[in-house]
């Protein structure tokens, strides 16, 4: 076995050790040296270093190998010292994992999210025509680290919890509300629905319950008796002239007549407003008053009730504009709207 074969044999035994213990740069240098030494050789000399000559007997043999062999031995010794230096440096200065990778902080226990109640319930009295019930659950993060709420859901389309964002990051020591909206249309008796709040620490189950003693008022006979084609024809007219609903005989039965002689704000709303704003066929351009994003006051409602909005189907209800409502009726309707239609976002942390 030639000297080079001895060196290859030694490096092969060193390779597993080097791979496990050498830092990156030293391991790279080790592999380079091992590759060089492992090249084909003749008599212990790399083939590309051989100088061939005719020995005079018709045979071509390598020449000038002694100086080259000495050079290879020196390189091998140099490689040994490089490896030794690398191992020593690595032992004295081991590469330690950073704090970020060494520990992955576990989320706080679910019990650190403390709720004001796990069940919320309310009663819808006889004669109440509200079509939605609203529940508010308050929670507090008592942990030393943040909670992350990923989702809130129910198992019925009639009950919808809402979050300000997904995911929702809750800082330590803070409290916030989760709003739940229940659609009461067509329901009577006790209505109970489950709400699930998903977090990175697990899921929390909540319960909402409504005792409905009367169903919301059904559509007026005039609406119930109209076909879909007639309804769409009326929408088309209102898009051209928003005040037509107070003049066209096919429209006044729903938008004008029900407000006559009414002085109660709720009665006026149910008579001439809910037909559009609370309809299951509510056009996308008609505002969902129960999903407002800003707070309102009486002046806000009186302005929009009286003047309507140009470029939309919202008519001007003031008698001075050709509508059915006098000043007293507008005042009563505005007071009802202030009390009934305020955004969930208006609730502030306690």
User: For 37-86, what is each residue's pLDDT tens digit?
Assistant: 555 554 554 544 444 444 454 444 444 444 445 455 555 555 555 655 55
Domain 221-346 in CATH: superfamily? Cytochrome c-like domain (1.10.760.10)
In angstroms, the CA 38 to CA 304 distance is 89
Q: Is 72 exposed, middle or buried (0-12, 13-18, 19+ CB in 10 A)?
A: buried
**Cα first-last separation, the chain:** 86
Q: Which helix (H) or strand (E) holds 248?
A: none
User: For 190-216, what is each residue's pLDDT tens digit?
Assistant: 889 999 999 999 999 999 999 887 654
Give the pLDDT mean for 241-264: 81
Which alpha helices (H) appear in 93-186, and where do they start and end? Answer: 99-102
Higher pLDDT: 172 or 106? It is 172
**Cα Rg, the chain, nearest whole Å:** 42
For residue 216, count other CB atoms closer than 10 A to its CB. 20
The pLDDT assigned to 65 comes to 45
pLDDT tops 80 at residue 164: yes
In angstroms, the CA 136 to CA 117 distance is 10
Model confidence, pTM:
0.38
The pLDDT assigned to 64 comes to 46
Q: Are 141 and 176 in contact (CB under 8 A)?
A: no
In angstroms, the CA 110 to CA 275 distance is 45
The pLDDT assigned to 72 comes to 57
**307 token code pair:** 């003047």
**The domain 110-212: what is its CATH number?**
2.60.40.10
Q: How confident is the model at residue 340 (pLDDT cuts 50, 70, 90)?
A: confident
**100 token code pair:** 């970020």
Give the pLDDT mean for 246-270: 82
% of the chain exceeding 70 in pLDDT: 61
Domain boundary assignment for the chain: 3-93, 110-212, 221-346
Q: Are 152 and 161 in contact (CB under 8 A)?
A: yes
The pLDDT assigned to 48 comes to 44
User: For 8-43, what is each residue's pLDDT tens digit?
Assistant: 445 555 566 556 555 566 666 666 666 655 555 545
Task: Report the DSSP pairing between strands 147-154 and 119-124.
Answer: unpaired
């Amino acid at each position: 076995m030639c000297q080079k074969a001895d060196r290859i044999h030694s490096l092969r035994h060193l390779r597993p050790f080097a791979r496990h213990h050498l830092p990156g740069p030293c391991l790279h240098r080790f592999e380079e040296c091992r590759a060089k030494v492992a090249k084909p050789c003749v008599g212990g000399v790399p083939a590309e270093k051989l100088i061939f000559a005719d020995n005079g007997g018709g045979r071509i043999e390598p020449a000038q190998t002694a100086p080259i062999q000495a050079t290879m031995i020196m390189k091998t010794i140099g490689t040994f010292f490089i490896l030794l230096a690398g191992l020593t440096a690595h032992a004295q200065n081991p590469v330690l994992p950073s704090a970020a990778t060494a520990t992955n902080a576990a989320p706080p226990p679910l019990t650190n999210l403390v709720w004001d109640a796990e069940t919320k319930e309310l009663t819808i009295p006889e004669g109440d025509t509200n079509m939605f019930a609203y529940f508010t659950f308050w929670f507090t993060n008592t942990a030393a680290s943040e909670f992350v709420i990923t989702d809130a859901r129910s198992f019925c389309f009639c009950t919808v919890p809402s979050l300000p964002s997904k995911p929702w990051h809750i800082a330590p020591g803070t409290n916030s509300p989760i709003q739940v909206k229940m659609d009461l249309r067509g329901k009577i008796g006790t209505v109970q629905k489950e709400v699930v709040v998903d977090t990175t620490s697990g899921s929390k189950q909540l319960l909402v319950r409504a005792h409905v003693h009367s169903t919301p008022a059904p559509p007026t006979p005039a609406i119930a008796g109209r076909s879909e084609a007639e309804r769409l024809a009326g929408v088309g007219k209102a898009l051209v002239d928003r005040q037509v609903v107070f003049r066209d005989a096919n429209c006044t039965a729903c938008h004008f007549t029900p407000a006559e002689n009414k002085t109660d704000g709720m009665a006026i709303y149910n008579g001439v407003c809910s037909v559009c704003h609370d309809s299951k066929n509510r056009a996308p351009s008609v505002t969902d008053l129960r999903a407002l994003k800003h707070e309102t006051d009486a002046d806000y409602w009186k302005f929009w009730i009286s003047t309507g909005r140009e470029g939309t189907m919202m008519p001007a209800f003031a008698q001075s504009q050709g509508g059915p409502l006098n000043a007293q009726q507008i005042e009563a309707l505005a007071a009802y709207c202030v009390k009934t239609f305020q955004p969930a976002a208006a609730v502030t942390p306690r």
